[in-house]
Amino acid sequence: MHARTFEYRALEKALENAEELNQGNSSGSFFNYLVVFVSVERGDRAGGDDLVRAAAEDVAKVVSTVRADGVVLYPYAHLSRNLAGADEALEVLRNLERAISGMGIRVHRAPFGWYKEFKLECYGHPLSELSREFRAEGLRRVRAVERGYVVLLPTGETVDPAKYVEVGDDEELKVLISKEVLRAELPGGEPEVTYACNKFGFEWEPMSDAGHMRYGPHATVMVEAVSNYAWEVARSLGIPVFRVRGTNMFNLKFRPVAEHAELFGDRLYEVETDRGVHVLRYAACHQQFAMVKDWIISYKDLPFGVFEVADSYRYEQPGELQICFRLRKFLMPDLHVFTRDLREAIGVCKVIQRRIHEEIAKLGRRYVALYNVTEDFYRNNFEDLVEFVRGDSRAALVSVLPAGIYYWVLNVEYVIIDSLGKPAEIATFQIDVGNARRFGIRYVREDGSEGYPVIIHTAIVGSVERYIYAVMDTAVLRKRSGLPPCLPTWLAPVQVRVIPVSSKYLDYANEVLKAVASAGIRVDLDDRDLSLAKKVREAGMEWVPYCAIVGEREQATRTVNVRIRESGVQRAMTVEELIEMVRKDIAGYPQIPQATPYYLSRRPTLNYLRTG
């Protein structure tokens, strides 16, 4: 507004972190000034100098046109419901003040974060009241990044990806290249994995937002088992690891949170509360970094890890959502390893890389890797990159990006080629050189000076749901090859089912049940009045690894007739032998209590168990 006169006076704080008052900004009186009422919105800082320059140039043009003597920048929250956090808003306002002043215009900025009274007398000519909106791309923007691709062989040679598709011998790598580089249309269709996941109670929750799942009793056991196993894997790396737990909501008014969110890009979940705009975390980063910045760390303490199974939220597009694979809310067993420097981080990553490959090999699968690297890392650490590829024991796709656009210098995605013939990222690690400084995480070096640790981010088994996706996808491939689909025994919701041939043998069946349960094994008993064939068929529908059938002969000999799902073998053995067989299967894995009653007669029919 072009004001003949304008006066204001600060009264009381509107925000806890309001700008400090001084003699120059607590009040003011102006004549023939352009009063610019400004609201800074979320994501405006991401517009950088270009956004500020566009606004400043427009203000300067109006000042020249109406022949105002100067500008008052007046923070005015009431122009928007999409307000930026205090730190972001104040930074943008200060930058705008400097930009206008740099054009030779007198500028006064009213204090930010205060309730103020003002009086304004407007000239009333056609240009005296104007409205402008200048947009940044915002937090939910897709970062368009120029990148180049090469295929890196374990020998250190590089090959053009398009040429590799013609002459290379790794068919899975060709699939990855087709998707990432050539943008080819890969096979579609309804994934059988979805039906396998549904069978165990992994379902969409229709009364929630899209991409949010619910977990039935069987699914709950599997989720808890993978969560606990991810912790055991983290502890096995040979470094101290601390398990923590935290919140899932962080305020964008804090600069480290806002900057990290801007770097993350366009998949943020945001929640507005009475304390401002919050972002739901998309991994455990915010919480762990907020904790570790308060720790007193010596070079002697490094490396060490911090672990949490974190509720994570990513605003995936509706058309991309897939049960257990692409979700808006999922569980991330996130490990961050704090190291002294890049050299130490690379060494720790080699240990992590070995564990990543060992874990997927336990499922009978193999990873193919996509290495996202910055230009400076590719140039300065090429031999390290070759060593990583040798550790994969196969060629890898490398994507080279400009330096400095993300907080990491190396980001590795480990993918399986799933039953649909598409790449599915499961595990990952990355080397982060920016967030320690951003969040104020320091350690004391040997010489007494302070340094910022290099941070490794990793999910060695992947997110909980994606690991289960890999398990289910492996079962689908087994089925296609003519073998019965099955789960690893440690992950099976019910590991042993006791099936009496008839009700005459229920007492002995109960003895077997109690013996197996007392060994810490998940077991139930089909005590329903059904035929043996139907009981065995339903156990097969639940992929129960071991069915212990008891009848007249078994009762007389104190044995059980065991059907082993994975091998298809059926043989008689003692209860002790059955227990020992199961214990051997689950050795080294966490054993979670079962989530259903012992007796099937006391269990309602679960919708997801109706299909074979």
Residue ranges of the domains in the chain?
2-122, 148-473, 489-609
Q: Looking at residue 607, what is its pLDDT?
A: 60
Which pLDDT score is estimated for 265? 65
List of residues 6+ apart from 358 with CB closer than 8 A:
none
Return the residue matching tokens 């996706």.
469
Q: What is the pLDDT of residues 185-201, one digit of tens each?
A: 777 677 899 999 999 99
**What gap in Å lies between CA 597 and CA 277, rounded to an integer?**
44
What phi and psi values does residue 72 have, to the nearest 5 degrees? -110, 120
One of 3.40.50.800, 3.30.360.10, 3.40.50.460, 3.30.70.600 is the CATH number of 489-609, namely: 3.40.50.800
Instruction: Look at 81-90, 371-380, 580-589 and tell me which has the smallest mean pLDDT.
Output: 81-90
Strand arrangement of the beta sheet that strand 570-574 belongs to: 523-525, 496-500, 546-550, 559-564, 570-574
46 contacts: CB under 8 Å, gap ≥ 6? 136, 137, 138, 139, 141, 262
Q: Residue 138 has what pLDDT? A: 42
Q: 148 φ, ψ to 5°?
A: -115, 155
DSSP-assigned letter for residue 239: S
Q: How many CB atoms lie within 10 A of CB 94?
A: 15
Count of other CB atoms within 10 angstroms of residue 489: 23
Distance in angstroms (rounded) separating the CA atoms of residues 441 and 340: 12
Residue 314: helix, strand or coil by DSSP? coil
Q: What are phi and psi of 83, to 5 degrees?
A: -70, 145
Dihedral, CA of residue 132, residue 137, residue 138 and residue 141, to nearest 10: 160
CATH code for 2-122?
Answer: 3.50.80.10
Q: What is the mean pLDDT of residues 542-564?
A: 97
For the entire predicted model, the pTM comes to 0.81
333 neighbors 463 (Cβ within 8 angstroms) = yes
86/387 Cα distance (integer angstroms):
46
Cβ neighbours around 139 below 10 Å, total = 24
pLDDT at 136: 67
| Res 137 pLDDT > 70 | no
Helix ranges (DSSP H) in 208-268: 217-235, 255-264
- Name the nearest CA neighbour of 303 among 258, 255, 336: 336
| pLDDT at residue 142 tops 50 | no
In 3D, which of 331, 294, 282, 289 has the Cα closest to residue 306? 289
**Rounded CA gap, 578 and 584, in Å?**
10
Element (H, E) at 167: helix 161-167
Dist CA 145 CA 143 (whole Å) = 6
Beta-strand pair 70-75/27-38:
parallel
How many helices (H) and strands (E) would you count in the chain? 17, 27
Topology alike, domains 2-122 and 489-609: no
The two tokens of residue 485 are 């689909």
Residue that is written with structure tokens 């008689």 in the block: 572
Q: Which residue type sits at 7?
A: E
State the chain's mean pLDDT as an integer.
92
| 18 touches 114 (CB < 8 A) | yes
Q: Mean of the pLDDT values across residues 571-593? A: 96
8 Å CB contact between 486 and 476: no
Q: What is the DSSP letter of 20?
A: P
Q: Pick 279 or 331 by higher pLDDT.
A: 331
Q: Is 147 in a helix, a strand, or coil?
A: coil
Q: Decide if 211 contacts 494 (C-beta within 8 A).
A: no
Question: Between residues 311 and 271, which one has the greater pLDDT?
Answer: 311
Q: What is the largest CA-CA distance in the chain?
A: 108
482: left (phi over 0), alpha (psi -120 to 50) or beta: left
Per-residue pLDDT tens digits for 384-431: 999 999 999 999 999 999 998 889 999 999 999 999 999 999 999 999
Mean pLDDT of all residues in 345-360: 98
CATH homologous superfamily of 148-473: Bira Bifunctional Protein; Domain 2 (3.30.930.10)
